[in-house]
């Protein structure tokens, strides 16, 4: 069997995990599988060795293209895993075993994050451009560390069962974004996250950026006790011009234009808002496990990957804290303060 046939079976077999992927993921992975098929679809599985995989990976890496190379390897693991578990193909079993012993270089750890001052600048710039929706989205992403998809939602075909009924818009439906109905009269937000399906429960009264933008929208009073004074319906984040939720590409385009105008480097992405919020929480001394839970992560190690603070400031703080515990208890001894017996030994030597 050739790799091309295996890929087709992976996408068509009703028992394949391919059918459990979300619409947006399948769309992206379909493009990736087409590229793999075009390059290597003619190769027989019996001819694929460890050296073959290393050579293919080097082609995808092409020096620094870590993301594409990682996606390539991850997809190959899935395809050969399907061949092993569903088709019980001996060549897939062999290749999968070989891959389990291989290590491929990963991308350097991402260091970019959005700071509180940058988030504030983007929000201010959005309001000046009559884009309060973008300001509020930025506030949600930074203050309560929401992913972009959980904030603005996404469009998928209406015919798909995933995402529930959603909100029908033409031939598509909008799902997974924030809804006003998820915010109660006490400003408690309850939202089911898109990636992990874990619930987010947050008291928005404790989120200053969000409250500031809600005040400007007239949803909460401009002063005095924070409470909901205007009940709205539908998606929270909508385009001011269309009154519909943003398609992801349109939101990113507008966000980038505002960020660039406010002096935010192009190397900093909207998705770095989440890392900025998590980093701020760690720097503020919040309990790491509480931060993990607030970020809806299962493992603290995942949360630590978003912790992108200034390493010099952190190492300096650690050294100062350690030094403070020694004051009055540990003293550096000079040569002149050496015990007399030690000085005699020096003279003899």
Sign of CA dihedral 219, 272, 25, 202: negative
Shortest CA distance to 91 belongs to which of 57, 52, 35?
52
Q: How far apart are CA 133 and CA 123, in angstroms?
A: 9
For the stretch 32-77, pLDDT in tens is 999 999 999 999 999 999 999 999 999 999 888 898 999 999 999 9
In the predicted structure, residue 345 carries a pLDDT above the cut 50: no
Contact 13, 92 (CB under 8 A): no
Please provide the CATH number assigned to the domain covering 116-272. 1.10.443.10
**DSSP count for the chain of H helices, then E strands:** 15, 5
In the predicted structure, residue 92 carries a pLDDT above the cut 50: yes
Shortest CA distance to 137 belongs to which of 205, 210, 195?
210
Domain map of the chain by residue range? 3-101, 116-272
For the stretch 141-167, pLDDT in tens is 999 999 999 999 999 999 999 888 999
What local confidence, expressed as pLDDT, does residue 348 receive?
46
Q: How far apart are CA 79 and CA 96, in angstroms?
A: 9
Q: What is the pLDDT confidence band of residue 333, given thresholds at 50, 70 and 90?
A: low
Q: How far apart are CA 40 and CA 28, in angstroms?
A: 19
296 φ, ψ (degrees, to nearest 5): 55, 40
For the stretch 263-290, pLDDT in tens is 999 999 999 999 999 999 888 888 889 8
Q: Which two tokens stand for residue 314?
A: 């952190």
Q: Which two tokens stand for residue 88?
A: 């019980």
Segment 77-89 mean pLDDT: 97
């Amino acid at each position: 069997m050739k790799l091309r046939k295996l890929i087709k079976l992976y996408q068509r077999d009703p028992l394949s995990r391919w059918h459990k992927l979300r619409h947006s993921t399948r769309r992206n992975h379909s493009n990736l599988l087409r590229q793999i098929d075009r390059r290597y679809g003619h190769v027989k599985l019996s001819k694929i060795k460890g050296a073959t995989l290393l050579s293919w990976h080097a082609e995808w890496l092409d020096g620094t293209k870590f993301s594409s190379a990682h996606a390539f390897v991850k997809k190959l693991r899935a395809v050969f895993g399907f061949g092993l578990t569903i088709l019980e193909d001996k060549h897939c079993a062999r290749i999968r075993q070989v891959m389990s012993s291989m290590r491929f270089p990963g991308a350097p750890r991402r260091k970019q994050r959005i700071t509180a001052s940058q988030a504030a600048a983007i929000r201010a710039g959005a309001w000046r451009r009559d884009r309060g929706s973008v300001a509020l989205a930025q506030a949600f992403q930074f203050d309560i560390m929401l992913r972009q998809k959980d904030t603005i939602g996404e469009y998928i075909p209406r015919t798909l069962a995933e995402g529930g009924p959603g909100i029908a818009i033409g031939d598509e439906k909008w799902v997974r974004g924030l809804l006003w109905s998820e915010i109660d009269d006490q400003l408690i937000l309850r939202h089911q996250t898109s990636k992990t399906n874990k619930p987010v429960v947050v008291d928005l009264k404790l989120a200053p950026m969000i409250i500031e933008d809600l005040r400007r929208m007239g949803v909460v009073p401009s002063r005095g006790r924070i409470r909901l004074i205007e009940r709205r319906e539908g998606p929270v984040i909508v385009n001011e011009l269309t009154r519909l939720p943003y398609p992801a590409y349109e939101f990113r385009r507008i966000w980038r234009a505002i960020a660039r105008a406010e002096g935010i480097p192009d190397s900093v992405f909207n998705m770095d808002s989440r890392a900025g919020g998590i980093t701020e929480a760690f720097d503020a001394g919040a309990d790491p496990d509480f931060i993990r839970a607030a970020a809806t992560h299962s493992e603290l190690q995942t949360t630590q990957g978003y912790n992108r603070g200034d390493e010099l400031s952190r190492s300096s703080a650690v050294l100062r804290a350690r030094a403070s515990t020694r004051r009055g208890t540990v003293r550096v001894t000079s040569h002149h303060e050496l015990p007399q017996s030690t000085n005699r030994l020096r003279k003899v030597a």
